[in-house]
């Protein structure tokens, strides 16, 4: 009833070279098969509060619901609609917690956070995101960005106002059009992807992608001997390039394909 040893997960977060406080937060659970990353913003260290609430709340709710389903023999790996609803409810709970805290704590007024989360199940990855934290996939040594930023720059690119090359030199890179916790309600974008053995998935904050080109991320992942060294190298490159923001990465490698066999209330994992 666990995704271990189907997945390897390594997560690192770093304050960077300029900031005094790390307002990023990450969490993962290889047994539950999820990853959560948040990049907070707003007020004096309030971003740290927002991202912390988001990660703790969502991780706790995902764990509770997955364990509850498994305890009664529900094959949540096959219930895509139920998983999507689970993610929406977890995000809704976190959004309310952040928003309500901001209303009663003056120093937290206006705080919010980006969010990127992944829920791995039977040959699938359900991704939810809000803002400009990203998900990438390395497959057959080729890196592909799987999420589209909720940002002013991305809207300008989509409208043909600027090119992707021009966006790299823009001064308003960090203006997001959607964030968790800044309004009573928020919409999380959900996408499902097929998972293959050998895939590496990168969840990251913009502290990485603002300073490290996709081509360098790709070569780093391809040349690193393991996930730990790859994560460390990505953080180092971002810091070497200025480290003007907090930097967070979570890497997930799919080691084995998993199938679930259900008999009564018994679930067992088999590796292909």
Per-residue model confidence as pLDDT tens digits over 196-239: 999 999 999 999 999 999 999 999 999 999 999 999 999 999 99
34 close to 119: Cβ distance less than 8 angstroms: yes
What is the Cα–Cα distance from 41 to 104, expressed in whole angstroms? 17
Q: Is 107 exposed, middle or buried (0-12, 13-18, 19+ CB in 10 A)?
A: exposed
What is the Cα–Cα distance from 133 to 209, expressed in whole angstroms? 9
Q: Indicate if the pLDDT at residue 272 is higher than 60.
A: no
What is the Cα–Cα distance from 252 to 263, expressed in whole angstroms? 30
| Closest of 121, 267, 136 to residue 209, by C-alpha | 136
**pTM of the full structure:** 0.91
- Report the CATH fold assignment for 7-271: Phosphatase 2c; domain 1 (3.60.40)
Angle at 263 between CA 2 and CA 258, to 5 degrees: 35
Any residues with CB less than 8 A from the CB of 175 and at least 6 apart, and which? 151, 152, 153
φ and ψ at residue 38, rounded to 5 degrees:
-140, 145
What is the Cα–Cα distance from 245 to 24, expressed in whole angstroms? 10
What is the Cα–Cα distance from 15 to 159, expressed in whole angstroms? 34
pLDDT digits (tens, 9 = 90+) for 112-135: 999 999 999 888 999 999 999 999
Average pLDDT over residues 14-34: 96
The alpha-helical segments, DSSP class H, found in the chain are 46-71, 80-104, 152-158, 164-167, 206-209, 214-223, 227-240
Helix (H) or strand (E) holding 189: strand 189-194
Is 96 strand, coil or helix?
A: helix
pLDDT band at 263 (very low <50, low <70, confident <90, very high): very low
Q: Indicate if the pLDDT at residue 74 is higher than 60.
A: no
* Stronger pLDDT, 250 or 1, i.e. the higher one: 250
Lowest pLDDT segment from 11-20, 155-164, 228-237: 155-164
45 close to 23: Cβ distance less than 8 angstroms: yes
pLDDT digits (tens, 9 = 90+) for 39-55: 999 866 799 999 999 99
């Amino acid at each position: 009833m666990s995704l271990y040893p189907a997945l390897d997960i390594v997560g690192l977060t770093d304050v960077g070279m300029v900031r005094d406080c790390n307002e990023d937060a990450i969490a993962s659970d290889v047994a539950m098969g999820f990853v959560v990353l948040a990049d907070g913003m707003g007020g004096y260290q309030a971003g740290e509060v927002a991202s912390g609430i988001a990660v703790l709340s969502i991780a706790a709710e995902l764990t509770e619901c997955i364990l509850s389903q498994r305890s009664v023999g529900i094959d949540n790996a096959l219930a895509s609609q139920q998983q999507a609803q689970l993610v929406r409810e977890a995000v809704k709970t976190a959004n309310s917690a952040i928003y309500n805290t901001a209303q009663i704590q003056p120093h937290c007024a206006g705080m919010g956070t980006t969010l990127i989360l992944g829920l791995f199940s039977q040959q699938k990855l359900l991704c939810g995101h809000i803002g400009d934290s990203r998900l990438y996939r390395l497959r057959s040594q080729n890196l592909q960005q799987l999420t589209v930023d909720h940002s002013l720059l991305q809207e300008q690119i989509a409208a043909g106002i600027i090119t992707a090359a021009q966006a790299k030199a823009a001064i308003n890179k960090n203006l997001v059009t959607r964030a968790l916790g800044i309004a009573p309600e928020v919409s999380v974008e959900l996408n499902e992807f097929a998972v293959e053995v050998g895939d590496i998935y990168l969840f990251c904050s913009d502290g990485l992608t603002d300073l490290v080109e996709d081509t360098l991320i790709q070569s780093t992942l391809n040349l690193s001997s393991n996930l730990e060294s790859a994560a460390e190298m990505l953080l180092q490159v971002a810091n070497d390039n200025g480290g003007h923001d907090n930097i967070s990465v979570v890497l997930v490698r799919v080691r084995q394909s998993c199938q679930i066999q259900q008999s009564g209330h018994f679930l067992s994992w088999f590796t292909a």
